[in-house]
Structure 1
Amino acid sequence: MSVEISFCVVNTEQRGLLRYCLDAIARERATVDFETEVLVLDNASRDGSADVARQHPVTTEVIALTERRGKGVNDSELLRRARGRFCLLLNEDSELEPGATVALHAALASDERAGAAGAMLVRPDGEQQPSAWRFPSPGSALMTAMFLHKAFVVQSTGEDVRSVDWVQSAAMLVRREAAVQIGYFDPQFFVYSDEVDFCRRLAGAGWHTLYVPSARAVHHEQLSTGNVPTRRIVEFSRNRDRYMRKHHSAVSAALVRYLTAYAYALRAAGALVLPGHDPKRYAKHVTATLRPNRGEGLAEGAEEFNRQLKPGP
């Protein structure tokens, strides 16, 4: 029997969350009537994550890297290795809720021009996270600077399946045919904006992306990232700018930088008086947004990690 869905998980140093992710996949596999497989790519973890994946009864194959790589490259590797007609891309910190796989599959299988479909992401306390947006542009940056983003930029709203610009890849079902056609993910995006670029290129090739609110996944993001460090802010900012320069003009990229920095500056000012907010974090966003080519991001962190793995002279 041919494989219908390949569950594709990328894990980096999150053994505990990986178990939750695989347990949820096991529950999902028990509810579907088609053939599935589970691929786990471990991103050179040192906490025993690869062994956890190998020992879990749901796992079909483990790809254990010896050097750390970016998310775009790793998701592309999984898509190339997968045998399924559809591939459910998951972060290790994503825990599918019951019925998510069936809902995503039904949405994508019933729409032959849909190249990807994203789930509703919720925090562990059940609060919904934004997970679908309009493509970045000067217009969307202006709406965000005016604090109108929830009405005009965020698209993960409503109770019905709807066509959106892009969805977060923490829990995204991809039609493998479409991914092959556009050449998978762009490896230039180490992490952040990789799925934005992916969905943009899908749209350029005549595909569209769906948001499926009946498919829910718990996103344990704060457990895996904690306080956002400078490297993440730098990586986030540089890849937003990379996306703009790739798909828009230099003028548009500059407008987005200034508008985004303005929005973060306002938040930094507000954080000085509002409890529970960190003005220094917003200030770091301002600096990184205005100077996206400066500073060390997660890509440099991975390079440093890989250098430490190599034996000395």
Structure 2
Amino acid sequence: MVNAPSTALASPQAPAAPEDAPQAFVTLSVVTWNSAECIEACLRSVLTQTHRNFELWVVDNASADDTCALVAALAETDKRIKLHRLNHNTGFCGGHNYSLNRTTSEAVLLVNPDTELDPDYLEHALAALHKDERIGVVCGLLLQSREPDARIDSAGMLALPDGRFALRLHGIRQSQAGPLTPQYVDGADGALPLYRRRYIDDLRVEGEFFDPRFFAHKEDWDIAWRGQLLGWRTWFEPACRALHPRQFQPTNLRVRLRMSRRVRANAVRNQWIMLIKNTPKAQIWHMVVRALPRQLAILAYLLVAERTSLSALRYVWQHRKEILASRRLIQSRARAGWSPVATA
């Protein structure tokens, strides 16, 4: 794994903005698929943000429930909401790529439909993004419930030596976590990250920010690793708070067994694609030593208990040329590292 930025770095000092400074224009991207149970609460929390200068793109992946009707009704009350209906399910990656490829705002906040933002989430996230031009991503404190001492869903992500990422402080009570301080972390969970536009454009591979092969699952790991390779930083800002009762946990066997065959296969396939694309040449053997035991254990599990997910191995082999082409582009760009904004 690439060396992650230290979380002990001192906070960069941000210059005070004039009180009458215009608000930055932001795109909020929500991807839905049969999200009728939660989408209305999510969008209402977005519409009450103290930062008002935004457009809200809802990209629907051919929902069969009332998602679009609920969004359309809200759009009648607030013209910032733009509903885009796709005729087939493009997944998390395809849906957000749709928004990212058609907007030009200086920052983009991805919003999972099962989240509810505190009113000042976007305001605090933008302030943090402007602390340092090398910060490409800001993530907040996501909580699993509204109870006084709620369990933490995530506080950013932590890079592991075997090419995986873990949610920081996941499942821990706030009282157990102690005081949370703003700091650099290894990556941002995909539920509510704020991306700088230059970061989005810098990380594109063959024109796309999210790898469309991933569809859904581990795409935030892939982005976090790629961002590290290119020298960008991720900032955790605990003043950004939101509700996110996470349900997608493929490492939990009971949860995994309730998932569709496609999602389970994606969880395996995307890990292998990510390892192939992102591991620097100098770290290949180190990564093999670290990752191989777990990957062999997963393969054994598939052979014994989940043969349908062996399609992941077949997919990687059949698409090896395209995956290796992506690797060459990523590693070539990584060697150049991060570069500051050009000044006139």
TM-score norm. by structure 2 comes to 0.67
Q: CA deviation at 1:46?
A: 1.0
1:135 to 151, 159, 162: 159
CA contact (8 A) 1:192 1:240 kept: no
Contact preservation (8 Å) 2:162, 2:290: yes
- Paired with 1:115 and 1:203, the residues of 2 have a C-alpha distance of 10
- 1:123–1:170: structure 2 CA closer, same or farther, 3 Å change rule? same
Q: After superposition, where does 1:1-313 map in structure 2 within 5 Å?
A: 4-28=25-49, 31-32=50-51, 35-56=53-74, 57-58=77-78, 59-124=80-145, 125=147, 126-138=150-162, 159-183=180-204, 184-222=209-247, 227-228=255-256, 229=259, 231=261, 232-248=263-279, 249=284, 252=287, 255-259=290-294, 293=312
Once structures 1 and 2 are overlaid, which stretch shifts more, 231-240 or 179-188?
231-240
Alpha-carbon distance in structure 1 between the residues aligned to 2:38 and 2:312: 32
Supply the distance in 2 between the matched residues of 1:198 and 1:46 (Cα, whole angstroms): 30
Amino acid of the structure 2 residue aligned with 1:89: L
Question: How many angstroms does 1:64 deviate by?
Answer: 0.5
CA distance in 2, matches of 1:224, 1:163: 25
Q: Given the superposition, is the C-alpha separation of residues 162 and 224 from structure 1 closer, same or farther in structure 2, using an over 3 Å criterion?
A: closer
Give the match for residue 321 of structure 2: none
Q: Per-residue displacement from partner, 1:78-127 (whole Å, max 9, x unpaired)?
A: 11223421111011111112321111111102221111111211112531
Deviations 1:208-231 (A, max 9, x none): 111222211111333999943253
Q: Residue type matched to 1:44 in 2? A: A
User: Where does structure 2 lack aligned partners over 5 or more consecutive residues?
Assistant: 1-21, 316-344
Q: Number of paired residues?
A: 266
C-alpha separation in 1, matches of 2:183 and 2:303: 32
Query: Match of 2:25, SS?
Result: strand
Q: In 1, Cα distance between the equivalents of 2:160 and 2:218?
A: 10
Q: Give distance in 2, aligned partners of 1:50 and 1:215.
A: 28
Moved more, 226-235 or 8-17: 226-235
Note the C-alpha offset of 1:254.
7.3
Cα RMSD (Å) of the superposition?
3.6
Distance 1:171 1:218 in 2: 10
Structure 2 CA distance for aligned equivalents of residues 185 and 247 of structure 1: 14
Secondary structure at the aligned position of 2:71 is classed as helix
Preserved CA contact (<8 Å) 2:140 2:236? yes
TM-score of the superposed pair, with normalisation by structure 1:
0.73
DSSP 3-state at the match of 1:88: strand
Q: Identity over aligned residues, as a percent?
A: 22
Cα deviation, residue 285, structure 1 = 11
- Amino acid across the alignment from 1:50: C
**Quick one: distance in 1 between partners of 2:118 and 2:296?**
36
1:211-270 CA deviation, whole Å, 9 max, x = no partner? 2222111113339999432533332222122211211238735742523676x8xxxxxx
Q: Whose helix proportion is higher, 1 or 2?
A: 1
Whole-Å separation in 2 of the counterparts to 1:150 and 1:62: 33
1:19 to 1:215, Cα distance in 2 relative to 1, 3 A: same
Give, as a single letter, the amino acid of the residue that structure 2 aligns with 1:27: T
Q: How far off is 1:76 after superposition?
A: 1.6
Distance 2:296 2:242 in 1: 31
- Alignment CA distance shift 1:23-1:4 (3 Å): same
Contact 2:302 2:310 in 1 (8 A): no
- Residues 172-213 of structure 1 show CA distances to partners (whole Å, capped at 9, x for unaligned) of 101112101221222121111212211222223332111222
Distance in 2 between the 1:114 and 1:292 partners?
38
